């Protein structure tokens, strides 16, 4: 089945068009795009999606709709996440996406976002070996933490920690001060530790990190210019390296960060917060590294759309 999935997140709007093979669970990408649209800017303060942010998303959706039409997808889906969930005018945007772009659009709850992220992250991996694994999905307005073993979800939670939300709350100077960064780190560490029981965190043996913060950090660590997904997917990023990258980025202005090899310029305003969230997630689980994956919620939604039998949260 040919499936198109659009993920309208707090910081970026992304597209996947792929052929999904129900028998094997294989996904063959035909098109994949990502644009930083900053839909969630100001939502934490105002509770509304701004007209300017909605217009940025619509401009990208115009391009994505043309690509979907050209590739002839049988299913056309869109998921809207944290910013749209939190905004009083979120339902209006969801309806507009559904009606104007002919997408099966829905604003999904955090628990469903977590389940789909786990489904995507585990796709294409060999059968489980009894290892307890955490999947980390850092977004603009929320971060999903899912712990599972042998393909089954043991615990999943969507937290109110995100790179846009926490940049706006804490990082008020350019470059941010050490005190601002420390305040952000302390808050998100507390959020992550409260979100997953200590006993489960202690027996988690590995972490898979998906989405833009993790892939950007892997690309920066390798100084990839241009970005190369084949070198990012499966890359193991140590906590020490993530901390060092975060310190380097935090010492720069936004304009300087835009020139860093491996970092898309549009992610420069939120990557300092992202690096802190990534490090503090590893710290909360007592892990020294993460495996970075390109298989994220886009894959999860595509697999669900093709009705491939996969374990669900229990």
pLDDT for the residue 127: 66
pLDDT of residue 122: 86
Min mean pLDDT across 95-99, 156-160, 187-191, 286-290 is at 156-160
Which sign does the torsion angle of CA 71, 107, 87, 188 carry? negative
Cα distance between residue 267 and residue 166, in whole Å = 14
Share of the chain above pLDDT 70, in %: 96
Q: What is the pTM of this model?
A: 0.88
For 3-21, write each residue's pLDDT tens digit: 999 999 999 999 999 999 8
Asked if pLDDT for residue 311 goes beyond 80, the answer is no
Cα–Cα distance for residue pair 116/222, rounded to 1 Å: 29
What's the pLDDT score for residue 130?
Answer: 83
Cis peptide before 166, with omega less than 30 degrees from 0?
Answer: no
Alpha carbons 82 and 206: distance in angstroms, whole number: 26
In the block, which residue shows the tokens 């992610």?
267
Classify domain 2-111 at the CATH topology level.
Nucleotidyltransferase; domain 5 (3.30.420)
Q: Which residues does 112 contact at the CB level (< 8 Å), separation at least 6?
A: none
Q: Where in the chain is the domain with CATH 3.30.420.40?
A: 2-111
**pLDDT of 308 over the 50 cut:** no
Helix (H) or strand (E) holding 33: strand 26-36
Fold for domain 126-293?
Answer: Nucleotidyltransferase; domain 5 (3.30.420)
- Percent of the chain predicted with pLDDT > 90: 82
Give CATH 3.30.420.150 domain extents, the chain.
126-293
Q: Is the pLDDT of residue 124 over 80?
A: no
């Amino acid at each position: 089945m040919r499936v198109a999935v659009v993920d309208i997140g707090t910081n970026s709007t992304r597209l996947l068009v792929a052929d999904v093979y129900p028998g094997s669970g294989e996904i063959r990408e035909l098109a994949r795009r990502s644009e930083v649209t900053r839909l969630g800017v100001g939502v934490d303060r105002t509770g509304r999606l701004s007209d300017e942010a909605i217009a940025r998303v619509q401009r990208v959706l115009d391009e994505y709709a043309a690509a979907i039409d050209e590739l002839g997808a049988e299913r056309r889906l869109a998921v809207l996440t944290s910013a749209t969930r939190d905004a009083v005018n979120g339902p209006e945007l969801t309806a507009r996406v559904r009606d104007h772009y002919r997408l099966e659009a829905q604003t999904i709850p955090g628990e469903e976002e977590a389940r789909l992220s786990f489904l995507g992250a585990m796709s294409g991996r060999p059968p489980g070996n009894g290892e307890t694994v955490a999947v980390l999905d850092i977004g603009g307005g929320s971060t999903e933490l899912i712990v599972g073993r042998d393909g089954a979800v043991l615990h999943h939670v969507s937290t109110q920690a995100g790179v846009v939300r926490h940049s706006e709350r804490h990082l008020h100077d350019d470059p941010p001060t050490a005190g601002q960064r420390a305040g952000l780190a302390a808050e998100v560490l507390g959020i992550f530790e409260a979100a997953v029981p200590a006993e489960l965190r202690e027996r988690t043996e590995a972490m898979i990190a998906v989405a833009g913060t993790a892939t950007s950090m892997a690309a920066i660590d390798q100084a990839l210019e241009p970005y190369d997904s084949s070198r990012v997917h499966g890359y193991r990023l140590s906590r020490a390296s993530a901390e060092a990258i975060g310190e380097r980025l935090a010492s720069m202005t936004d304009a300087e960060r835009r020139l860093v090899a491996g970092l898309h310029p549009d992610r420069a305003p939120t990557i300092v917060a992202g690096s802190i969230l990534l490090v503090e997630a590893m710290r909360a689980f007592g892990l020294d590294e993460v495996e970075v994956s390109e298989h994220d919620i886009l894959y999860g939604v595509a697999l669900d759309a093709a009705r491939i039998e996969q374990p669900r949260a229990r």
